[in-house]
Amino acid sequence: MSTVITDKLTGKTSAGDVTITSEGGSATMQLQQGVAKGWVNFNGSGTIAARDSFNHSSLTDSGVGNYKTTHANNFSSANYTFACQGGNPSDDGTRIPTRMRDDPTTSTYGNQQFTTTAAANQDCTQVAFTFFGDLA
Amino acid sequence: MAGKIIADTIETGAGADISTSYVVNGSAKAWVHFDGTGTVATRDSFNMSSVTDRATGAYTTSATNAMASADYAWTSNASNQGAAYGAYCVEGDATGTKNFNGRTSSNVRLNTGGYTAWDDALSISSVYHGDLA
């Protein structure tokens, strides 16, 4: 078994391009592209509070079931990919549609609203956002 | 010539270490963010060759480099900015129902909708995690 001890990985040919080999060994991919650039797990009920996060600076409670997150390090454009999920375990898995009220920016995502199937906003105790894309 | 490191573990100077299996297995293998209204348009993507518009609220995302099997994890999100209602995104089949059917090592058929019917969505994201072939 071998260990690389380092604080930083930088591509040799191109600083922002470190290639890794796939599990099956037949493909390669760019390490930076596949790594999540930010995520946050928070309680969106009552006084909203992050439980755990990465590259995340703050949460904004914009109303009932309506949240905005601010990234610590900005993305290079507003076209990054996001996945979000919200729910209330006590609701026995009720479907939670979402709607985006504002376009994402390089530094913020939201306001993302979580709604009931009757189109009313609702707070969620379990909310997670994950972001993929290019950092600035 | 490009440099190459073959290692099982990556360790920081502070002594925190992580197995390279976490780096390889934990990295998303493909992702795409697209506008599903009108003519479908990809905003940004990684390892995705295409997004096909199959019907109202029905799309297929196709990875460039295939996964090792059809058992990979898939997460998604759909949003309709400015709409009166939220949107949801589920794995569907060719007919637009919610039943799981037909995921392949490259393709996921997904369906978006409002609270009453299938509907196109303005912002849709699809992320694959698992083993590449």
- Reported as a single tens digit per residue, the pLDDT across B63-120 is 999 999 888 888 888 887 766 666 777 776 555 554 445 678 999 888 888 767 788 8
- Give A44 to chain B, closest Cα distance, Å: 17
d(CA B34, CA B58): 13
Residues 6+ apart with CB under 8 A from B4: none
Whole-number pLDDT of residue B18: 77
Q: Is the residue at B13 inside a domain?
A: no
Domain with B121 in it: 28-129
**B75/A83 Cβ within 8 A:** yes
Length of chain A: 136
Q: Is the residue at B1 inside a domain?
A: no
**A4/B24 Cβ within 8 A:** no
Residues 6+ apart with CB under 8 A from A22: A28, A29, B24, B29, B65, B131, B132, B133
The tokens of A119 are what? 């189109």
Beta strands at A38-43 and A56-63: parallel, antiparallel or unpaired: unpaired
**Chain A residues near residue B32 by CB distance under 8 angstroms:** 81
Whole-number pLDDT of residue B115: 67
- Give, in degrees to the nearest 5, the angle at Cα A75 between A73 and A80: 135
Longest dimension (CA), chain A: 56
**Chain A residues near residue B125 by CB distance under 8 angstroms:** 81-83
Grouping H, G, I as helix, E, B as strand and the rest as coil, residue B24 is: helix
Q: Is the residue at B12 inside a domain?
A: no
d(CA A71, CA A74): 6
**Chain B residues near residue A115 by CB distance under 8 angstroms:** 85-86, 115
List pLDDT tens digits, range B13-38: 777 777 888 788 889 999 999 999 99
Whole-number pLDDT of residue B67: 93
Grouping H, G, I as helix, E, B as strand and the rest as coil, residue B103 is: coil
Q: Which amino acid is at B109?
A: R
Whole-number pLDDT of residue B98: 47
**Chain A residues near residue B65 by CB distance under 8 angstroms:** 22, 27, 29
A65 to chain B: closest CA residue: B86
Q: Is the residue at B6 inside a domain?
A: no
Cis ω before A111 (30° cut-off from 0): yes
Q: Is the residue at B20 inside a domain?
A: no
ipTM over 0.85? The verdict is no
**A119/B84 Cβ within 8 A:** yes
Q: Is the residue at B7 inside a domain?
A: no
**What percent of chain A is predicted at pLDDT more than 70?**
93
**B81/A103 Cβ within 8 A:** yes
Q: Tell me if B46 sits within 8 A of A132, measured CB to CB.
A: yes
List pLDDT tens digits, range A37-92: 999 999 999 999 999 999 999 999 999 999 999 999 999 999 999 888 887 766 65
What is the domain count for chain B? Answer: 1
**B10/A4 Cβ within 8 A:** yes
Q: Is the residue at B53 inside a domain?
A: yes
- Nearest alpha carbon to residue B25 among A36, A45, A50: A36
Q: Is the residue at B18 inside a domain?
A: no
Helix (H), strand (E), coil (C) string for A69-125? EEECCCECCCCCEEEEEEECHHHCCCCCCEEECCCCCCCEEEEEEEECCCCCECCCC
**Chain A residues near residue B13 by CB distance under 8 angstroms:** 5-7
Average pLDDT (A108-129) is 83
**B31/A4 Cβ within 8 A:** no
- Nearest alpha carbon to residue A65 among A96, A90, A103: A96
Q: Tell me if B132 sits within 8 A of A86, measured CB to CB.
A: no
